Amino acid sequence: MSRAIVLVMDSFGIGAAPDAERFGDAGADTLGHIAEACARGQADDRGRRGPLQLPNLARLGLYHAHREATGASAAGIQLGEIDGAYAHAMEVSSGKDTPSGHWEIAGVPVRFDWGYFEDREQSFPPQLLEALIEEAALPGVLGNCHASGTEIIARLGEEHCASGKPIVYTSADSVFQIAAHEDSFGLERLLSLCETARRLLEPYNIGRVIARPFVGDDAASFQRTGNRRDYSVEPPSPTVLSKLHDAGGEVVAIGKIADIYAHCGISRLIKASGHDALMAATLAAMDEPVASDTQRLIMTNFVDFDMVYGHRRDVSGYAAALEAFDRQLPALLERLTDDDLLVITADHGCDPTWQGSDHTREFIPVLASGAGLAAGSLGRRQSFADIGQSLASYFGLAPMADGESFIERKRALDRRGA
Ligand SMILES: O=P(O)(O)O[C@H]1O[C@H](CO)[C@@H](O)[C@H]1O
Ligand SMILES: [Mn+2]
Ligand SMILES: [Mn+2]
């Protein structure tokens, strides 16, 4: 059996990318700025205290990768022994969004430009909204602006419940987001509205429509639920997930992964919401007995780093979530065999100390272990696609068009007795 486990820590950047300035992100550093706030005692909140404690990620090479990315050690950190291979990778894709990051991780960078709704107010073309209102028989829409999703439901949620008008908004990402109350508007109705929007958005080259259902009685109690759904366009060419799936391998997608790849190349989808449930689902997938000739990729997206802490600019919340993730790693590491390949990575940055509420253009960490990899630096990777290319080598698939493998192909094949 060949088994790879890929954990995507959504938004966990490790320092500004060489082209960060183009995005207004020169100097952004998700890990570095969180560590700095913790070291200064500025992230002592809701029960967490003091310097950032990530002993397991540190042993896999996280801080070493961060130092190679930024040229400086993270604040309050002692660089200790490592037993993993580590790297920092830059993004080739034109955008710093979730689909671009994930597709590039899977060997398919996005070289074209997405469409964006750039105006901060009256963001959407009137003809698009008119068509949506008519097709879905809506009384109108609210919002029509750039917004943070939690702020806009607090501001417009009550009016939405009273009027039946869904809230439409966007961000610096290539997205059309629709927020609506699960009970008063209805979850199924929201999902079908998103499908209509997905169709109407075809001429605009928009990456994702996102359903943002929420519950609660009033502005003070409104809360988004785990029923979020992303409607992504399909990747421009087959990712390593599709290649493995087409070659008879099994691709187990946990959390948002299937949505992000528009359900292309997915053998099985496991939904889970919240990091504890996502980790539990990952461990359960690792515990499943599989036939000896099975090739299996388990891929999990940990979205709360981004959605609950990064976009909300919640530094201590992000730090606590990292520490909780780190505490769960030993349970995963003890399930790994020497032949398994583990990759812990991210899809972009979302520095919680940065201005605004958007993503930041950063290097991502690549923490790889197993599959005959020696501990130590794998240097600066020119594209996230090196991960996809390495997965292709590991599974003995035909090479991807992009990316350079950090796994020795021959060794991977020998090990499998191929
Ligand atoms: O503010 P919320 O609704 O969480 O939106 C965030 O999530 C979306 C997808 O990453 C982006 O558009 C970003 O702005
Ligand atoms: Mn993301
Ligand atoms: Mn995001």
Q: How confident is the model at residue 416 (pLDDT cuts 50, 70, 90)?
A: low
- DSSP symbol at 349: B
- Looking from the CA of residue 149, the nearest atom of ligand 1 is 3
Q: How confident is the model at residue 130 (pLDDT cuts 50, 70, 90)?
A: very high
Q: With contact defined as beta carbons under 8 Å apart, do 89 and 383 qualify?
A: yes
279-310 pLDDT tens trace: 999 999 999 998 989 999 999 999 999 999 99
Q: How confident is the model at residue 229 (pLDDT cuts 50, 70, 90)?
A: very high
pLDDT value at 418 more than 90: no
Specify burial of residue 417 (Cβ count, 10 A radius: 0-12, 13-18, 19+): exposed
The closest of 305, 230, 253 to 106, measured between CA atoms, is 253
pLDDT value at 27 more than 70: yes
154-195 pLDDT tens trace: 999 999 999 999 999 999 999 999 999 999 999 999 999 999
- Looking from the CA of residue 151, the nearest atom of ligand 1 is 1
Measured by CA distance, the residue closest to atom 10 of ligand 1 is 98
Name the percent of the chain lying above pLDDT 90.
96
Q: What is the mean pLDDT of residues 245-270?
A: 98
Q: What is the mean pLDDT of residues 131-141?
A: 98
Task: Measure 95 CA to ligand 3 centroid, in angstroms.
Answer: 12
In this prediction, residue 413 carries a pLDDT of 55
* Cα–Cα distance for residue pair 266/239, rounded to 1 Å: 11
Nearest 5°: phi and psi at 297?
Answer: -115, 125
Nearest 5°: phi and psi at 289?
Answer: -70, 135
Which residues, 6+ apart, have CB-to-CB distance to 109 below 8 Å?
91, 92, 93, 100, 103, 383, 384, 385, 402
For residue 175, the ligand closest to its alpha carbon is: 1
Instruction: Decide: helix, strand or coil at residue 167.
Output: strand
pLDDT value at 408 more than 90: no
10 lines ligand 1 (CB under 6 A): no
Which residues, 6+ apart, have CB-to-CB distance to 167 below 8 Å?
141, 142, 143, 152, 153, 156, 157, 160, 178, 179, 180
Q: Which residues make beta-bridge pairs with 121?
A: 145
Q: What is the enclosing helix (H) or strand (E) of 341?
A: strand 341-345
In this prediction, residue 303 carries a pLDDT of 98
ipTM, interface predicted TM-score of the complex: 0.96
For residue 352, the ligand closest to its alpha carbon is: 3
Q: How confident is the model at residue 322 (pLDDT cuts 50, 70, 90)?
A: very high
pLDDT value at 414 more than 80: no
Q: What is the mean pLDDT of residues 74-99?
A: 96
In this prediction, residue 180 carries a pLDDT of 98
311 lines ligand 1 (CB under 6 A): yes
In this prediction, residue 323 carries a pLDDT of 98
- Residues annotated within the binding site for Mn(2+) are 10, 306, 311, 347-348, 359
Task: Measure 12 CA to ligand 3 centroid, in angstroms.
Answer: 11
In this prediction, residue 19 carries a pLDDT of 98
* Cα–Cα distance for residue pair 46/317, rounded to 1 Å: 8
Instruction: Decide: helix, strand or coil at residue 224.
Output: strand
In this prediction, residue 81 carries a pLDDT of 96
- Predicted TM-score of the model (pTM): 0.95
